[in-house]
Structures are given as C-alpha cells and as structure tokens.
Chain A
Amino acid sequence: MAQTKTASLTKGAGFKKQEDLTLLNEVSSATAGVSHLEMCIQCGTCGGSCPSAADMDHTPRALFAMLRAGMRDEVLHSNTPWMCVSCYHCVVRCPQEVHIADVMYTLKSMAIKAHQYKDNTAPDFSQTFVDNIEAFGRSYELGLAGRFYLQHQPLRLPGMAGMGWGMLSSRRMNILPSRIEQIDQLKAILTKAKTLELTS
C-alpha cells in the first residue's frame, strides 16, 4: 500500500528531484561582500527598477525565489544575470539591502563554471575582454571588437564600419594594444588568484 502511494507520488513533477536547499547559501557565500540574499521579501523593487527586465526570462525577484526553491538548472540557464547592465538602481532601492548586482555576477560565473548558459554571446564577450587583459594588462578595444564581432555578430560588421572608421580615424580606437610594464607580475597574481575561491 505504502509502496503504491510512493510510486504514484513520484509521478508528480514536483517529486522528480529533492529540493536543493543549499543553493541560496551557496550563491550568497560566493558573492563579494555580504549579499543579504536570504533577506529578500519578494517585493519586486528590483524587477520594477530594471532597465532591461523586458528582455529577461525571469525578473531578478523571480530568480531569487527560484534560488530559494533550489531550482539550480533553471537559474543557471536563465538569461537574467546576462541581461543585467549593472546600473545599481535595484541595489540602492532594495528595501532589504540585497546586493543584487553582485549576486548577478556570482550567478554568471557559476553558469560559466557549470557551462549552463543558454546563449554564449555574453560569456564569450566577457572571456574575450578578460583574455585581452590577461595578455596585455589593458583592454584592447579593436582586438575585442574584431574577434568578438567576427565570431558572434558578423552581420553587424558592415553596418558598423562607418562608426569603426570614425573611431579609428579620430584615434579614439588604437590599432595596436598597449601593454603594462610588469605584465609578469600581473600574470603571477592572476594565476594565484585562479586557485582561490570565496566560500565562507
């Protein structure tokens, strides 16, 4: 009797997996500063403030509810963190002082680590940017634009040629990257840093 009951219950979608109640804490502790994530009262100030909410699949508030519900895959698949423009409107308005923008950074890096993002445009842009920094110590706009657009938005290139030429001809974009002197020191720092993680 009991067995049948369990069997019938497991058919329900909610019983496929056990809820992952550690997720919220995991995200909170991997966030720089004190995130206050557990204090969210689901008021929606963040979702109402967000300038790019229209293009998000979940509002930030909904994402935090999903974190609480332990919906790891759904959260890491969400495009919400990638659409965050870091305007900090939500952060200063949040009545519970949740460091929303920083939580978004955490979710992005978690998604990258888990290879769980839906669209690789944004992660690749960030990675390209970071590769340049790691190589030169400075950002390199032309190299970034070239590599990134060829890979992701080749169709956009012709339309942007005029603008690109304008930037180059006014020397607002440099043809060659500049490099810091002590690039080896920076590399040593970053190599060490990559072995470290923020947990508790």
Chain B
Amino acid sequence: MIENHKPKIGVYVCHCGSNIAGTVNVDDVRKWAQEKLGPEGVVIARDYKFMCSSLGQELIEKDIKELGLERVVVAACSPHLHEKTFRTAAEKAGLNPYLTELVSIREQVSWVHTDKAIATEKAKSLVSGTVQRIAYNTPLEKQKVPINANTLVVGGGIAGIQAALEIANAGFHVYLVEREPSIGGHMAQFDKTFPTLDCSACILTPRMVEAGTHPNITLMTWSEVTNVSGFVGNFDVRILKKARYVNEDVCTGCGICTEKCPKKVIDTHYEAGLGYRKVVYTPFAQAVPRFPVIDRPNCTFFQKGTCKACEKFCPTNAIDFKQEDEFINITVGNIILATGYDLFDAGRVTNYGYGRLPNVFSSIEFERLSNSAGPTGGEITLRDGKTKPETVGIIHCVGSRDKNFNNYCSSICCMQSLKFAHIVRERTGADVYEFYIDMRTPMKAYDEFYQRVLDEGTLFVRGKVAEVTNAARYPHEKGKLIIHVEDTLVGKQRRIPVDMVILSNGMEPRHDAKQTGQTFGISCSSDGWYIERHPKLDPVSTMTEGIYIAGCATGPKDIPASVAQGAAAAARVLDKILQKEVEMEPIRASVIEENCSGCRICNSMCPFNAIAFIGDLKVSRVNPALCQGCGTCVAACPAGAITGTGFSNEQIFAQIDGLLMTV
C-alpha cells in the first residue's frame, strides 16, 4: 500500500545549544538523513540551534506548507518534554499531530555517551528507525471524556485538609478519607511549630473544623480506600468504612462514654506510647469528627461479652455493638493522595539504646512530653514522670543520611531539633547539647531561628553520635546516659554525660505505601516515596492522569511545603474540573474482524475488560472507551487480527529495520 507512495518526510535535527551538538555531529546527521534516507521518503533535512524555539517551530510549519510534508521527524530531546510542542506546531500547519515524532538524541545519546563518532552513529540509527516507522503512522483523533466534578482526597493530615478545602471552597465536592478516627495527622500531635513557635493545635484546629463542617466536604474517617478502577474523569472508588460501634447520626460527641469506660490502654498512636487512653475514645480533645470509636480488640464487651458501660451511660443511645464494616462506592474525576509518612523506628539504631535505655526519647515522644495536652501536662521530665533533666542531648539524623537505614536527608530534623532545644531551655533551664553532622536551615526565617537557639546558649557539637550508653566509666557518669561522640571540630572523642537523650527521628514512607500505590496505579522510588511526573516541573502529578500527590507522600517535607503542595494539587484538580472534559490519547487497539478467529484469548488478556466477544458474529470487539492502549492484546492475538494505533506491528517492524540499518 505504502510501497507505491512514500510519504514526504522532513527531518529536523536540534543542536540544543551544545547539549546535543557538543557530542553529536549534528551537521553530519542532517547530511546523512538527507542523502541516505532520501529513498525512505526524506525530502528535507535541516538542523537548527534550538528547534523548540518559536523560530525552530516556524521552520517546520513553513516546510509543511511549502514542501507539502506529510510526516515530521524531530531529532531532539525526549518526547516526554517536547512531543507536544512539535505536534502542536505541525497541527497549526495543518498536519495531524500524530504524524510528528520525536527522536531522543539528547537523553539517549549526547548526555549519556562521550565518543563523538559513536554518538553520531547512534543518533543516525535512531533517526533512521523513526523515519522508517513514521511512514506507517496514521492520522489519529483525540477522544474527549467528560470529567466527574467530585474529587477524592486520601489522607486527612494538613496537606490533605488544605487540598480538600481549596477544592471545596471553589464550589466542588470532595470526599476526604482518613484511616484514623480523626483528621489532623501528625501535626495534631505536635506542641510547637518551627520557626515561629506557633502552637500547632491553635493553627491546625480551625482548619480541621472547617473541613469537618464544610458543605462541600464529605468527611470519611476510620475509613480506607480498598479499590480504584477507571480513569481520569471517572474513577470508581471502593471505600471500607470500618465499624465505629457508634451511631454517627445520633452521637453528640458529649464524651460521657469515654468518661465511663473502665478500661485504659497505652495509646501507642496519638500519645506515641507515652500516655493512656480509654477503649472508647476520640484520639484528642479537638478531634474532628467528634464521634468516638470503640477499640474492638481491647474492649471488654467484645472480649468477654459483659461491661457495656458506654452503652449504659450514653444519653442518646448512640453505642451500637452490632455495627459492621461497610463498603461505600463513589465515583470521582480526580484523586489526591496525601498519605503522609511514618516516623523512623529509632529502635533500629541499636547503639542509641531506644527502647532499652529509659531516658532515651524519640522525637514524637518529646512532642507529646512537651505538649500541654500531653501525658505530663507539658512538664518535661525523665521516664519516671517526675525528675526534671539537668542536661539534655539532642541527636540529629537518626535513621537519615545513613546507608544502614535511609540514604536521604529527612529535611525537617535540624529545625525540629532546634525547636526541641529551645523548648527544653525555656521550660527546664537544662544544658542542651545538639549533635549534628551538618546544620541544614535553608528556608525562610529558619537560619534566624538557628541564630536564636545559638544565642540561648545551646551547646552545638559537630559530630554524628556513635553511641548512647549507661555503662559509666568514671564516677561522675554514674546514673547518667553517656553520649559518645567525636567533636569533629576539635578532632577529639568526647563522652558527654546527660540525663535525657532526644532522638530526632527521620521520616520514612508509609509502611504500606507500595500497596497503596498499587491500589491507585502509581509507583514508588527505590526509597519508597511516590514518584512525581517531573520532580521539578510537575511535582504534584503522577504518571497516572488524574492521580495527584501532595505532602510527605512524595518525600520528607515541613508544614509550609506540605500545605503548598496540598494547594498546588488542588489547583491541578480544579484546572481539570473546569475544563469539563479531558482529552485521551488516541492510542487504542481494534480488532480487524475478518481476521478474527473468535478464539477469545484477547478477552481474558485485557485488564480493563475492554474486549467483548460478540456471540452472533463469533468475533471479539474492543470498546474504545475502556481500552487504554497498552497493546497486550495486540501482541497476544495468534491471528494477528488486532492492531494498535500508534504502535502497530508495521510501525515497530519498520523501526527495528531502521535502527539496524548500517550507518
């Protein structure tokens, strides 16, 4: 078919300044394309300093119009950067956008190779591959799908709350799902926030209340997303609403049940194991929603069948021991994941003795200890709950910047440690040591806070602590914790006896981040954080259209950055909603029915159930609205009866031929 008529192809080789031209002989590639690829249909080959500039684009538009080009090949950067640019330019000149292809000779050639001759050769063969392929490209039309205006936000920490409020305030509906009994996240546990020392609860709770009462927000706490299907514009989401054993319709949140519950357990979650809570409880006083939840595994009624104190005293008969878990299905157009982080388990650093030495505290333990709503009412004491420390050591980088644990810097620990130092000095007057590798205080007013803590007399020691021990070597160390460290600025080992050690734990991806990512169809980096579509230019999007990420789910962040990301993700979602419909890439499979033998192998192959067997005709047929274009069925069809637009067998075969052409 095409053999008789080779479409007219234009080849454009970009210098990208010296980015490409420094390693690839651009002129040689152009000449070669013009001469050697002439028989393949190349009628014009040009090179230009910056093809993506408006002048570069005009060059293409002009050639399309004047030379009647039917295909355009641009050898430049990755298609993930500029494919859209050139397709739009070609479209302006009247060429279907899918008849333009990019060849990546920057990311795949000039940036990764050094030998100019070899790089040039490789560039030529890549160009040749695409020239061969593009002859088989066909014009395609984008499909438009209407967007459901509802949004799902997963995670009710500060990033998720911010995102939900932005969208709700713009007038669109949000489902805010949180797996704990209350929204608020880690921020609800903190005492003060650096560097301003605002009371964390004071600035957070108004936002929580707003989210809890907003007419456009459906709050679903004690709930988890279990399944997501569909695509941008129309996701079907299944949510598990765990039984609270409290009827939310009649509960007033008066708290009498909690008061009357006779059983106390250690609160490993909100109080970080330092305090106790009842078995029917709200995690903290300002919890949103205010409904309590019964901790079933610990409840005497569920264990032994007796007690029911809560039920007896509830003035509105809201306690419902028969309540069961239920599933709720919703449909949304976009999803924002703000699932946050887990605190690094300091017990893994055996040499710091956490979990073995009583007066070694984790960062979150200290937050609770210093919080006026915490177990000691804000008194900073040793583990005995009474004694005030006279010397305190604060250790940075616990579990961070360490190949034995996590490679990355957790970014908040320096500021968190400075905050601790300030609070300890202020409340106890104790001598405070800070042990750091490097001080990292780069954001607004952060370094000023470092200056302030210096000024308060905190003793800074540059050195990563080697060990915390209770083995005294000298009489003055008896009964103390001894911090072993090299003071690297002095070049000497020091043993510093202290009463209390505070570890600045790093952040880790959620323990189930990978599993959650699979539910939503997004992936994690090797560290376990979710991968952004582009780390700099698209930090709240993912590879999956319609799924956005915000806050610590993508990596360690402080509160301002998390809030900014929540808002940014909301803006991206609003942009989508306001467009009312979304364009879908027209890469689809279709069955050539006369070739179909009706074997139905493809039916089970499709993960989206897009292929149905038409009983009357004994052939299979692809539903283009469901097909996502992965091409698995194309590869699987034993009769070769399925073709995939954009990636047809002819295109790939031609590209292989082109790549292997001797240059």
**A54–B484 CA distance with the chains assembled, in angstroms:** 12
The complex places the Cα of A62 from the Cα of B491 at a distance, in Å, of 7
Distance in Å from the Cβ of B655 to the closest Cβ of chain A?
40
| Inter-subunit contact A49/B462 (CB<8 Å) | no
Residues of A within 8 A of B492 (CB): 53, 59
Task: Say whether B213 faces chain A, with CB atoms less than 8 Å apart.
Answer: no
The answer to whether B444 has its CB under 8 Å from any CB of chain A is no
Binds B, one of A2-10, A93-101, A118-126, A155-163: A93-101
Chain B CB within 10 Å, residue with most, of A42, A90, A95, A96? A95
Residue B570, interface by CB 8 Å:
no
Cβ contact within 8 Å between A93 and B466:
yes
Inter-subunit contact B437/A47 (CB<8 Å): no
Which among A62, A95, A97 is the interface contact of B464 at CB below 8 angstroms?
A95
Cβ < 8 Å to A, chain B residues 81-98: none
Within 8 A of B (CB), among A27-72: 41-50, 53-54, 58-59, 61-62
Assess the A95–B403 pair: CB atoms within 8 A.
yes
A61 touching B486, Cβ below 8 Å: yes
In chain B, positions 450-483 with a C-beta closer than 8 Å to chain A are: 462-467
Bound Cα distance from A126 to B210, whole angstroms = 74
Q: Which single member of A44, A50, A90, A97 contacts B462 (CB below 8 Å)?
A: A44
| Closest Cβ–Cβ distance, residue A2 to chain B (whole Å) | 34
Query: Is B18 in the interface zone, CB < 8 Å from A?
Result: no
Q: Are B493 and A89 in contact (CB-based, < 8 A)?
A: no
Measured between beta carbons, the chain B residues less than 8 angstroms from A95 are 397, 401-404, 464
Q: Is B351 an interface residue (CB 8 A)?
A: yes
* Cα A50 to Cα B486 with chains together (Å): 9
Q: Is B604 an interface residue, CB under 8 A from the partner?
A: no
Contact status A93-B493, CB under 8 Å: no
Q: Which residues of A contact B463 (CB under 8 A)?
A: 43-45, 47-48
Q: Which B residues between 381 and 404 are near A, CB-CB below 8 angstroms?
A: 397, 401-404
Q: Are the CB atoms of B491 and A43 closer together than 8 Å? A: no
Contact A61 B403 (CB under 8 A): no
Bound-state CA distance A47–B403 (Å) is: 18
Q: Give min CB distance, A68 to chain B, whole Å.
A: 14
Which chain B positions have C-beta within 8 A of A61? Answer: 486, 488
| Chain A interface main SS type | helix
- Contact: A41 with B437, CB < 8 Å? yes
Contacts of B488 in A (CB 8 A): 42-44, 47, 59, 61-62
Knowing A58-B491, A89-B466, say if A46 contacts B402 (CB, 8 Å): no
* Residues on the B chain within 8 Å of A90, using CB: 466
**A49 to B467, Cβ gap below 8 A?**
yes
Distance A89 CA – B493 CA, assembled complex (angstroms): 14
CB closest chain-B residue, reference A36: B403
Do residues A93 and B403 form an inter-chain contact, with CB atoms below 8 A?
A: no
Query: Which single member of B437, B484, B491, B494 contacts A49 (CB below 8 Å)?
Result: B484
- Once the chains are docked, how many angstroms separate the CA of A62 from the CA of B462? 13
Q: Does B485 reach chain A (CB closer than 8 Å)? A: yes
Q: Is the CB of A96 within 8 A of B403?
A: yes
Whether the Cβ atoms of B437 and A48 lie closer than 8 Å is: no
Given contacts A47-B463, A93-B351, contact A59 B493 (CB under 8 A): yes
Considering only residues 117-163 of chain A, those with a C-beta below 8 Å from chain B are none
B517-538 near A? 1/0 per residue, CB < 8 Å: 0000000000000000000000
Contact A97 B403 (CB under 8 A): yes
Inter-chain contacts of A59 with B (CB < 8 A): 486, 488, 491-493
Please name the residue on chain A nearest to B349 by beta carbon: A93
Which A-chain residue is minimally distant from B465 (CB atoms)?
Answer: A48
A61-B490 Cα distance, complex, nearest whole Å: 12
B residues in contact with A50, CB < 8 Å: 493
**Cross-chain contact B403 with A44 (CB below 8 angstroms):** no
Shortest Cβ gap from B338 to chain A (Å): 30
Q: Which residue of B lies closest to A90 (CB)?
A: B466
Which chain B residues lie closer than 8 Å to A49 at the CB level? Answer: 466-467, 484
Residues of chain B within 8 A (CB-CB) of A92 are: 404
CA distance A92 to B466 in the complex (A): 11
Q: Which of A41, A48, A54 contacts B485 (CB 8 A)?
A: A48
Contacts of A96 in B (CB 8 A): 403
* A67 and B465 alpha carbons, distance in the complex (Å): 23
B487 to chain A, nearest CB (A): 8
What residue of chain A has the Cβ atom nearest to residue B406's Cβ?
A: A95
Separation of A47 and B487 alpha carbons in the complex (Å): 8
Residue contact A47 to B486, C-beta cutoff 8 Å: yes
Considering only CB atoms, which chain A residue lies closest to B494 in the complex? A48
A53 to B403, CA, bound (A): 24
Q: Once the chains are docked, how many angstroms separate the CA of A198 from the CA of B451?
A: 50
A45 to B351, CA, bound (A): 11
List residues of chain A with CB within 8 A of the CB of B493.
47-48, 50, 53-54, 59
Bound together, the chains give a CA A48 to CA B464 distance in angstroms of: 8
Cα of A86 to Cα of B386 in the assembled complex, Å: 42
Give the chain B neighbours of A53 by CB distance below 8 A: 486, 492-493
B491 near A45 with CB under 8 A, answer no
Closest B residue, CB atoms, query A96: B403
CA A87 to CA B443, docked complex, whole Å: 41
Q: 1/0 contact trace for B594-617 toward A, CB 8 Å? A: 000000000000000000000000
- From B351, B404, B464, B494, contact of A43 by CB (8 A): B464
CA distance A113 to B484 in the complex (A): 34
- B465 to chain A: which residues have CB within 8 Å? 45, 48
Q: List 9 A-B contacts (CB under 8 A).
A: A41-B401, A43-B488, A46-B486, A48-B464, A49-B484, A58-B491, A89-B466, A90-B466, A93-B466
- Besides A44-B485, A44-B487, A89-B467, 11 more A-B contacts (Cβ < 8 Å) are A45-B464, A46-B466, A46-B486, A47-B466, A47-B486, A47-B488, A58-B491, A62-B488, A93-B404, A93-B466, A95-B464
Q: Please report B residues at the A interface, Cβ cutoff 8 Å.
A: 351, 397, 401-404, 437, 462-467, 484-488, 491-494
* Leading 5 A-B pairs by shortest Cβ distance: A47-B486, A48-B466, A44-B486, A95-B402, A44-B463
